[in-house]
Amino acid sequence: MQDMPDLLTAAAQISQGKSSSVALVEGCLRQIKTHNPTLNAFGDVYDQQALAEAEICDRERQQGKLRGPLHGVPFGIKDLFATAGLRTTKGSLTALDNVPDSDAPIIARLKAAGAIIIGKTATTEFGWTGSSYSRVFGHGRNPWDPTLTSGGSSSGSAISVAARMVPAALGSDGGGSVRIPGAFCGIFALKASLGRIPTWPWSATEMLSHAGPMTRTVRDSALLFDLLSGPDARDHQALPAKTESWLARCDAPLPRLRVHYSPTLFNTPVDDRIAACVEQAVEHMAHALPVTLTAKALSWQSPFATFDTLWSGGRGVAYGAALQHQHHQLDPGFAALIERAQRIELADYLAAQKQRAAFAGQVHALFDEVDLLITPTLPVLPFAADRHVPEGQADGDSGVEWARWTPFTWPFNLSGNPAATVPCGFTPEGLPVGLQVIGRRYAEGEVLQFCAALEALMPWDQHQPKL
């Protein structure tokens, strides 16, 4: 569908009577019907319910009633989020009959703003890996090359936005799960500061996990953060309400910023095609935007073992106990994580918490000297859709082997900093490349404003997969 509008355009067209919610939902359903059998973005699709809701929204608009800024706009919802009365499989064969009786806070707020849930999008099992491997939905496939992975764990949400199945979708990020597929699929995604958008039910890795939008443009994302942020009594980590509109900030002139560019982290080799694309974008930015740029690889030591212990310990112990009689139904990789978690001692887990604090302190100290840090989002290009890790990656014995090929994303889950992926160009093969923009804690507005300036400098939304 060549004329699928972005979120802000869709919302404006419906509210102004220039288009209808029914027309938009019908367009989304056509795209889903055409491309989902190949790309595996959606599990359950609520075609009749979504159309019925769209008809009600159109009648309400004709009567001068708008539910909110997203009145009548359809969304895809990652199938990890609790949706009242709608199946939430969490990507697992063990939860195919799970139907929550309450909405997660992010879902309740999306509905309150007037949005329509058109379907649940694919995720890896309990969101445990950065690939798009799935025995529930079928492996998520990249709209730019369907033989390749879309990345995960918010695989279906990224695919659905990139393939113009929906104007926007919701995802979650406990180690890169909006940024990895965002980079592979060529869309925008921001992991905010921990607690910016409240999460519930409780997660075994709550100190790492975030909820948030996945969109085609920065301004679409800013609007959703304006609508979805704020405290909720069910999330003890939720931050206070924001005091400014981040959408308005995206339209304000960019102040002079101190930007540090690190071409890699932890001496990780970066694919030459990615490096060339990112370098070109950084050079363009340095000449066209009001930034003072420094460029040098940072000397931080990799906290991989710390992340492995916290992720494997949290997920493995919690799910190992809850699913003790269903391990045979699990993805073998996730089952191995559970098995490994049984060997983690309490002393190891507490030591990892201390190591996490030390690493986070290093990250926060950097932001005493700079306003933003930029890196490639990923050091590798998309690989085969039926794999958890790239071809050639050596076998390892951690519970998070996927974190070896995503070493630039999960460190900022450990530190809690906002981190976004921005499309910055294409490889010679036509695959999108992501640039990661990291800010100091609680400075999402600054990250969004800078990314909006990058988007204006290097527009990407006119590019779309040739499906």
CA–CA gap between residue 302 and residue 411 (Å, rounded): 8
Of residues 132, 153, 157, 160, which has the active-site annotation? Answer: 153
Of residues 177, 221, 229, 415, which has the active-site annotation? Answer: 177
Angle in degrees, CA 162, 163, 164, rounded to 5: 90
The two three-digit tokens of residue 390, written as one number? 């790239």
Three-state secondary structure of the chain: CCCCCCHHHHHHHHHCCCCCHHHHHHHHHHHHHHHHHHHCCEEEECHHHHHHHHHHHHHHHHCCCCCCCCCCCEEEEECCCCECCECCCCCCHHHCCCCCCCCCHHHHHHHHCCCEEEEEECCCHHHCCCCCCCCCCCCCEECCEEEEECCCCCHHHHHHHHCCCCCEEEEEECCCCCHHHHHHHCCEEEECCCCCCCCCCCCCCCCCCEEEEEECCHHHHHHHHHHHCCCCCCCCCCCCCCCCCHHHHHCCCCCCEEEEECCCCCCCCCCHHHHHHHHHHHHHHHHHCCEEEEECCCCCCCCHHHHHHHHHHHHHHHHHHHCCCCHHHCCHHHHHHHHHHCCCCHHHHHHHHHHHHHHHHHHHHHCCCCCEEEEECCCCCCCECCCCCCCCCCCCCCCCHHHHCCCCCCHHHHHCCCEEEEEEEECCCCCEEEEEEEECCCCHHHHHHHHHHHHHHCCCCCCCCCC
> What is the bridge-based pairing of β-strands 257-261 and 291-295?
parallel
209 given a catalytic annotation: no
90 given a catalytic annotation: no
The two three-digit tokens of residue 315, written as one number? 């997920």
Of residues 19, 78, 92, 155, which has the active-site annotation? Answer: 78
Neighbours of 35 (CB within 10 A): 23
172 given a catalytic annotation: no
Exposure string over 323-358, b if 16+ CB within 10 A, otherwise e: beeeeeebbebbbbbbebbeebeeeebeebeebbee
Residue with tokens 């309150």: 112
Check: CB of residue 436 under 8 Å from CB of residue 419: yes
Q: Kindly list the catalytic residues.
A: 78, 153, 177
